[in-house]
Chains A and B, each alone.
Chain A
Amino acid sequence: TQLLEQSPQFLSIQEGENLTVYCNSSSVFSSLQWYRQEPGEGPVLLVTVVTGGEVKKLKRLTFQFGDARKDSSLHITAAQPGDTGLYLCAGPRPGTYKYIFGTGTRLKVLA
């Protein structure tokens, strides 16, 4: 059973479109992180959210942590080809400091 479910698995959109990807769990997380992984590279941290309801913005990316701290979303405005990659959410397994990763959303932005 995957503790962190991400959806959609794959997303292919045109440049300039908006999109939202989701990270869901039935468990409460003390914090969640979002990473982006480009082909042939390791994941790179984008943001950490720690408070229920928290919203963080990183240029055209908006991250939200659910009020109940069981889910998070990533919204990209006016997507660009440079946003292409695998987006992973991660969080500490409840009650531990051991992080688990979701299976990811693979995004392709077409020029």
Chain B
Amino acid sequence: NAGVTQTPKFRVLKTGQSMTLLCAQDMNHEYMYWYRQDPGMGLRLIHYSVGEGTTAKGEVPDGYNVSRLKKQNFLLGLESAAPSQTSVYFCASKKEAGTGAYFFGPGTRLTVL
């Protein structure tokens, strides 16, 4: 039982390049989330999904797209990376809405030059 996994762990991009971050969970959770974590800003929600085939915008969605074609996977795409997207990205999953725990992946450290 791996929990939530993220690939890659580190990535360096040049401005304008694109990339996809992959998140996978093996807990059969309905809800999945993408957060970014920046110093002094805490965790900010980018996009989330309440089930297979659904996605919704969070607090800071601009410049990102997501897809949830399979229940266990949640992809985060950057179409044209900008230096402002330099951050640590965390994927999380949750069994259902309510007071249950968020299960986080180990993070992806992205640097955009």
Residues of A that sit less than 8 Å from B by CB = 2, 31, 33, 35, 40-45, 48, 50, 88, 90, 97-104
Contact = CB atoms under 8 A, between A and B. Distances in A.
B111 to A, nearest CB: 15
Contact of B106 (A2, A33, A40, A97): A40
**SS class of chain A's interface: helix, strand, loop or mixed?**
loop
Given A41-B107, A42-B105, A44-B104, A97 B43 contact: no
B42 A102 contact: yes
**Interface size bracket, B side:** 20 to 34
A97 B107 contact: no
Contacts of A97: 97-98
Given A31-B99, A42-B4, A48-B99, A101 B104 contact: no
Contacts of A88: 42-43
B102 A43 contact: yes
A104 B42 contact: yes
Given A97-B98, A98-B48, 19 more contacts: A31-B99, A33-B102, A35-B102, A41-B106, A43-B90, A44-B104, A48-B99, A48-B101, A50-B99, A90-B43, A90-B102, A97-B97, A98-B45, A99-B102, A100-B45, A101-B43, A103-B40, A103-B41, A104-B42
